Amino acid sequence: MNKSVFAGNQGPLLIAEIGGNHEGNFEYAKELTKLAISSKVDYVKFQLYTGDTLVSRIEGPSRNSHFKRFELKKEQHIELAETIIDAGIGYMASVWDEEMIDWIDRYLPIYKIGSGDLTAYPIIAKIAKKGKPIIISGGLATEQEIIDTVKYIQGIDKRYTNPEFLAILQCTSMYPISEKDANLSVIQRLRELTGLTIGYSDHTEGNYALEIAYALGAEILEFHFTDNRAGKEFRDHKVSLTADEVNDLINRIKRINELKGNSIKKPLDVEIENGHVESFRRAVYPRCNIKADSLLTEENLICLRPNHGIDAREYENVIGKKTIVDISEHQSILWENLK
C-alpha cells in the first residue's frame, strides 16, 4: 500500500518552516536549511515573494519595505530547494507571487497556501490547476471562509475532494499566541465539516501545543524553525523551534504513538497472559448454600469474581432455573447442574 502524501516518517507530516527567519541573508538561509535537514523533519519550507508583488507601496509602505529586505533571488531559492531535495527531504514553499509558481513548481510535490492567501483566489486558482496536493492554513478565517475556499479549489479540480490531495491546518495568525488562542478543538470540527486531511500550524511558544494537536488527531504539524531565539528581533523567531526542540518533539510523538496503540479493541496479550479476563470479570454464584431442586432467585444469587461457571451476563437467564444438585455458597454454578 502506498504511503499517504500527508504521512510523515514519525506519523504526522512534520514541516519545519524557515519562512522569513533568514531575514534576507542567503548565507544564514543555507545554515538554517542544513540545520533543519539534520532535525529529521519531513519537509523544510520557505516563502517565495517580492515586496512589490505582495504589498502595496502606497497602502502598506512599511510592510512593503519589510518584505523587500527579506527577499531572496530566484537562483538562491532554487539552490535551497536543490539542497533540501538532495538531502532526501521534501522541499515546500508558500508561493506568494504568481510568476514564481512556474519556475519553482518542479521542486514542489506539495503546495502550501498561507493564512493570508486563503482568500487570494487568483493565486489559489493557478496553484490548483497544477493538480498537486495542497495544504491551506486557516488563520484569520471564519469557518465559512474555509469551506468556501475548499469548495473553490474543488470546483477547479475534483481530485481535491480526496483527502490525499487537500489538507487544512488550524492556525491562529499572531506571533506568538497564548495557549488559549490555539483552539485545537477546531481540528476535529474541520475534519467533520470537510472530510479532508487536517493538521495544525503552530504559533505558540514551545512544542506542547504540537504534542496535543497530534494527540487530538492532527495529521500535519507545521512549526517555524530557527537556530537560536536569543537576541533575535524578528517576531517569527519567538514561535520557532530549534533542532534540539524538534528532536524532543519527535521523541514525544513516538511516545504518543505508543500510547495511541492499535485502534482495534480486543483483549491484549498482557491481559490474557495474566488471567485478568477471567479474574477481573464476574460470574453467577450462590449467595448461600442451595439444596438440590431449589428455585434460583435474586435472593439466593450473587455475581462475583472470578468468571468461573456461568458468566454474569447470563444472570437473568439463570433466574427461575432449578438446581439438580446441592451447591455450596460461593461455589461456581454449571449449566449442567440446572434444569
Exposure string over 20-34, b if 16+ CB within 10 A, otherwise e: bbbeeeeeebeebbe
Q: Give the span between the Cα atoms of 178 and 186, in whole angstroms.
A: 16
Answer whether residue 1 shows pLDDT above 50. no
Which residues, in sequence order, are CB contacts of 132 under 8 Å at separation 6+?
105, 108, 109, 110, 111
Residues in the chain: 339
Q: What is the pLDDT of residues 158-204, one digit of tens each?
A: 999 999 999 999 999 998 999 999 999 999 999 999 999 999 999 99
pTM reported for the whole predicted model: 0.89
Cα torsion angle, 153, 156, 160, 165, sign:
negative
**Domains of the chain by start residue, with CATH:** 7-260 (3.20.20.70), 269-337 (3.90.1210.10)
Three cell numbers, residue 58: 502606497
Q: What is the pLDDT of residues 282-324, one digit of tens each?
A: 999 999 999 999 999 999 999 999 999 999 999 999 999 999 9
Distance CA 238, CA 186 (A): 24
Closest CA to 109 of 72, 81, 87, 137: 81
Q: What is the pLDDT of residues 87-138, one digit of tens each?
A: 999 999 999 999 999 999 999 999 999 999 999 999 999 999 999 999 999 9
Give the separation between CA 338 and CA 86, rounded to whole angstroms.
Answer: 76
Q: How many CA atoms lie within 13 A of 90 on its CB side?
A: 20
pLDDT tens digits, 231-246: 777 878 888 999 999 9
Cell numbers representing residue 330 in the block: 460461593
Calpha distance 120→230 (Å, rounded):
35
The percentage of the chain sitting over the pLDDT mark of 70, rounded to a whole number, equals: 99
Contacts with 30 (C-beta within 8 Å, 6 or more apart), sequence order:
79, 80, 83
Give the count of alpha carbons within 13 A of 72, CB side only.
27
DSSP at 266: -
Tell me the sheet residues that pair with 181: none
Helix (H) or strand (E) holding 283: strand 283-286
Give the closest residue to 67 by CA, choosing from 53, 81, 46. Answer: 53
The more confident residue out of 146 and 262 is 146
Q: Please tell me the distance from the alpha carbon of residue 22 to that of residue 92, in angstroms, as a whole number.
A: 16
Which pLDDT belongs to residue 220? Answer: 98
